[in-house]
Structure 1
Amino acid sequence: MLIGVDIGTQSLKVAVTDSQLAVRGEASRSYQPSFPLPGRAEQDPRLWEDALGPAIGEALAKAGCPAGKVGAMAICGQLDGCIPVDTKGGPRGPCLTWMDRRATQELADIDADHLHELTGIVADASHLAAKIRWLKRHGGDARTARYHQPVSYMVERLTGATVIDHALASTSMLYGLKTKAYEASLLAAFDVAETELPALASAGEPAGKLTAQGSALTGLPAGIPVAVGTGDDFSTALGAGLVEPGNVLVAIGTGEVVGAVFAEPRIDMGRLVETHAYPAGGYFIENPGWLAGGAVAWLKRLLGVADFAEIDRLAATAPPGSDGLIFLPALTGAMAPEWIAEARGCFYGLTPSHGAPHLARAMLEGCGFAMRDVLTRLATLGARPDSLTLLAGGAQSRLWAQIRADIAHLPATLPRHAHSSVIGAAMLAGVASGCFTDLKQAAALLPPPQEQLLPDSLAAATLDQSYQRYLTLFSALKPLFPQA
């Protein structure tokens, strides 16, 4: 049996699969990030450690599988977090998560054009290098030995190995797409020593074996192979079977990721999408995401709504276009139609006739408009999708899926397993243990999509008009963003 783990922003998920990648048991444990100040978002890495053992134990129990039958495991999870650790891999502070944009000033003297040319990514405070520089400039702990992203952190805690895959490393602003290595000029620019970073390896390689500490954290026997793993942007795509160029992935989790697999590296000179190494070969070109499911969770709390299903029920009672109400999905900074860290979200067009249903629908539509921004850019780079592959928690909302189909003028494909990151992790565990020769062999075992929703032409026409108003609103608010 194989175990796939996904370290999400709001929960840790586990799947136990057999050698054919059929899911036999699943479980999760919830937790939350903290937002101590505007622009800051943190998470205690011990939340992940505390969740790991109980979630694995429950998933094994549901699968009817004893721990001794597990052949390998892999960790995947959230990108762009930064965790300072000591020589033993213990945390020296909280994780600055992907939503944290406090390090904007650390980019002031960075040559953004040079960085973009080497890495294919945008010089942005969300990425690892800026956060490392911020920690060093603001009283970093002298006992810090190196810096991890969440996946490489957990792999070291389980195996003692300090290793990261090329895809995750390519999100750091320190990795060269052509050299497939850390770039000396960027290390120097951010004042980072290569010894302060995990070593590079392929995602499906075994990072090491579960140590006694790893056994205590997981409840699994020591000696089990643990794969290097990768970020959830990539494992989500892998778990949906995206190993060749084709359809566009829209993963609506806490953050929303929109991307596509390309055979060759293509660089977006407009800097809306980034180019990353991809574990199955080729490149994953994506926008790494804005707060989407996390925005809905915020609105749910604000309205005092019991659950996400109630948000759907509310939104379904408002018409397409939300009677003129527009939501700008920039609660933690804008990622579309432009990257502006200082941007903030808003509802525009409120009147006394608007109520909770309009707020709910406008939020679902606003996130869809940001998706359309990215789809348009991917098309200019050569993507020619015939449908959208919807994944993660948001894919379980048929209403949101239909809204996406209407906004994109494309069919929306719904998977049999929405949380595909854990399946992608299980695929990597299978490669690391020799169960599969490569990820393409593993992907061939995955079942076909469950359902496809076609766009509604009348709703699509209304949403086209709303989308143009969304773009006008963004342009009008830009002068205010630096004041945020």
Structure 2
Amino acid sequence: MKLLMGLDLGTTALKAALFNLKGQLLAVSTQEYSLITPKVNFVEEREDIYWKAFADAVTDLLTQYPDARQSEIAMAISAQGETIFAMGEDGRALRNAIVWMDNRAQVEAEELREKFGNDTCYKVTGQVSFEPCWPASKILWLRHHEPEVFQKTKKFLLIEDYFIYRLTGRYATEGSLVCSSTYWDIINRRYWKEMLDYIGIRENQLAPVLESGEIVGQILPSVADELGLPHQLTVATGALDQAAGAIGAGVAKEGMFSENIGAALAICAPVSHPVYDPNGKLPLFVFPLKGMYMIHTFTNGGMTLRWFRDRFCDTELAAERAGLGDAYDSISREVGKVPAGSDGLIMLPHLAGSMPPDQNAKAKGVWFGFTLQHTRQHFMRAIMESLGYILRRNVDSLRAMGIDVHEIRSLGGGSKSRIWNQIKADINGITLETVKSKEAASLGAAILAGKATGVFSDIREAVHEMVSVKETIEPNPENRSVYDAGYEMYQELFHDLTGCFAKTK
């Protein structure tokens, strides 16, 4: 029996899932871990913590689905970007991994900006600017601050590369993940020699770049025995987490668009050729389908609703603790009592700054237009509508670049709310669909594994077989005018308050 495994390497949790060839979820295990934050702007993790989480997840999977022990399995990885390992000659990390959100390399990022310029960064790598979190900046920081580690490093690996190496003994990475390294040429699809020379590393210190959904090799027998996995396990290249999630939601052609509301609102829009934002704000990545690219960005999303839940929804949280239903479901029911447009209440949900296409690190959350008639339910709905407006800003920016968007696939925690999905469809005037699988990123990785091993002829066939639409939500034309007015007000507020934001800390 053939099974497909998707491994989703998240920031604070690892998730492993087993699927059959129809996309049915057979078993899933989530293993959480805590990050190490020794100083301000430092975020790290030990390699053994990642590996133990994986081992524990595999044990759990095999307990849930014992037949997997005797099955032929193909697996691939959905990976967080920018987390980097400095590996020694013995194949072990010389120090903790530096996690993607680590911002220690601020001086180094500025050094790269002065040397190459952000315009060159965008043209060559697809990233709109040099930032501390990108691996090139982190490697330069190691050269400056930990020269002994830098000199001893045999390989600099991203987190997907690391797991592939531990599983197979071979080095490999893939385009969607290495894009944000800022040492890879996204158009010519090769390492950027000038950048490697400047930060002081050689190409052979990095993993060879393959396409997503290519076989890397078989699991090492010793690792299979350690984990209890079958020796007939093939490891393939996967994809950046948001790209894998898009595939797992069925986004496999131009004109489709995925939105994922979790802690962040992340968007992915595949395109058939490289498209640069004339305003230089929307990053360009490689998409997992061969020859394709994607516009990918994110901003604060579910974080805002969670903030509101934790501080102002004691009743809903108490009911949840008493086993009377999920607090978010209760919030959604309350939102349904308020008319579209929240009776003029508008929110800017930038509790931790805003990201492209309206990038402003100093942006703040704002409530505007509330009166004596407004209730707590109005504030709940205004939060949901604010994320719909951000989604529309991204859609409008894509259209300004000549990219048509006619279908939205929704995934993540935000897709569980029927009323929120309707709000997003109404604000954008676009059909929105949700999918049955709750594990889109893991499913996307499994699809790539199936394509790599020949189970499917290509990714589109795999999507057809493994991804099922749960619900199709058409926009309600009766709400169009009120949301057009709300969207215009949202944009005016953001623009007019820019000067006020600049005066804040």
Q: Deviations over 1:312-362 (max 9, x none)?
A: 34444444334554443444442133234x334413338685665444333
Residue 101 (structure 1) shift: 4.5
After TM superposition, list the pairs within 5 Å mapping 1:217-256 onto structure 2: 218-222=227-231, 224-256=233-265
- DSSP 3-state at the match of 1:394: helix
Alpha carbons of 1:431 and 1:456: their partners in 2 closer, same or farther (altered >3 Å)?
A: closer
Provide the identity percentage. 26
For structure 1, the residue ranges without an aligned partner over 5 or more in a row are none
Tell me if the contact between 1:15 and 1:422 (Cα under 8 Å) persists in the aligned partners. Answer: yes
1:11 to 1:189, Cα distance in 2 relative to 1, 3 A = same
SS at match of 1:450: strand
Q: SS of the residue aligned with 1:249?
A: strand
Tell me what 1:396 maps to.
Answer: 416
Matching residue within 347, 369, 389 for 2:366:
347
Q: Output the CA distance in 1 between the equivalents of 2:371 and 2:222.
A: 58
> Which of 120, 123, 132 is matched with 1:117 structurally?
123
Q: What are the equivalent positions in structure 2 for 1:50-449 lying under 5 Å apart?
A: 50-63=52-65, 65-87=67-89, 88-90=91-93, 92-97=95-100, 99-108=101-110, 109=114, 110-125=116-131, 126-139=133-146, 142=149, 143-211=152-220, 214-215=223-224, 218-222=227-231, 224-303=233-312, 305=317, 306=320, 307-340=327-360, 342-349=361-368, 356-449=376-469
Q: TM-score of the superposition, structure 2-length normalised?
A: 0.84
- 1:444–1:295 Cα change, 3 Å: same
1:22 maps to 24
Is the 8 Å Cα contact of residues 322 and 361 (structure 1) preserved in structure 2?
A: yes
Query: Which amino acid letter does the alignment assign opposite residue 31 of structure 2?
Result: R
> TM-score scaled by structure 1?
0.87
Whichever residue aligns with residue 95 of structure 2, its letter is R
Q: CA deviation at 1:412?
A: 1.0
- In 2, distance between residues paired with 1:57 and 1:339? 43
Amino acid at match of 1:420: A
Provide the rounded CA distance (Å) in 2 between the counterparts of 1:189 and 1:401.
47
In structure 2, the CA distance between the partners of 1:348 and 1:146, relative to structure 1 (3 Å rule), is: farther
Partner Cα separation in structure 2 for residue 129 and residue 301 of structure 1: 37
Of residues 298-307 and 444-453 in structure 1, the stretch that sits farther from structure 2 once superposed is 298-307
Task: Specify the SS of the correspondent of 1:445.
Answer: helix
1:444 Cα shift? Answer: 3.1
Query: Displacement, 1:467?
Result: 2.3
Q: CA deviation at 1:371?
A: 1.4
Whole-angstrom CA distance in 2 between matches of 1:362 and 1:436? 44
Q: Secondary structure at the match of 1:155?
A: helix
Between the aligned partners of 1:310 and 1:149, the Cα distance in structure 2 is: 40
Does 2:481 align with 1:461? yes
Q: 8 Å contact 2:344–2:370 — kept in the other structure?
A: no
Deviation, structure 1 residue 3: 0.9
CA distance, structure 1, for counterparts of residue 184 and residue 282 of structure 2: 17
**In the TM superposition, what is the alpha-carbon distance from 1:450 to its structure 2 partner?**
2.1
SS in 1 for 2:180: coil
Query: Cα distance, 1:165 vs. partner?
Result: 0.4
* Structure 2 gap ranges (5+): 321-326
- Verify the 8 A CA contact 2:348 2:494 in the aligned structure 1: yes
Aligned pair count reads 482
- Aligned mates of 1:55, 1:34 — CA distance in 2: 21
Please state whether the residue corresponding to 1:374 is helix, strand or coil. helix
Contact 1:415 1:451 in 2 (8 A): yes
Please list the CA deviations of residues 42-83 of structure 1 after superposition, one character each: whole Å capped at 9, or x if unmatched.
555555433323333434444452323142211112223334
Q: Which residue of 1 aligns with 2:323?
A: none
* Distance across 1 between alignment mates of 2:85 and 2:387: 29
Alpha carbons 2:71, 2:230 under 8 Å: kept: no
Distance 1:425 1:274, change over 3 A: same
**Aligned residues of 1:148 and 1:198 also touching (Cα < 8 A):** yes
Query: Cα distance, 1:243 vs. partner?
Result: 2.6
Indicate the residue corresponding to 1:5 in structure 2.
7
- DSSP 3-state at the match of 1:24: strand
CA distance 1:264–1:359, change in 2 (3 Å):
same
How far apart, CA to CA, are the structure 2 residues paired with 1:70 and 1:482?
60
Deviation at 1:180, TM superposition (A): 0.8
Question: How many Å separate the matches in 2 of 1:367 and 1:257?
Answer: 11
Shift of the alpha carbon at 1:177?
2.3
Report the alpha carbon displacement of residue 231 of structure 1 after superposing the two structures with TM: 0.8
* Contact 1:89 1:157 survives alignment (8 Å): no
Residue 181 of structure 1: CA displacement?
0.4
The 3-state SS of whatever aligns with 1:444 is: helix
Change (3 A) 1:291 1:146: farther
What amino acid sits opposite 2:401 in the alignment? L
Deviations 1:250-269, CA, capped at 9 Å, x for gaps: 12233322122211111112
Give how far 1:440 is off.
Answer: 3.1
Q: Residues 1-50 of structure 1: CA distance to partner in whole angstroms, max 9, x if unpaired?
A: 11111122343332212234333333323446577777665555555433
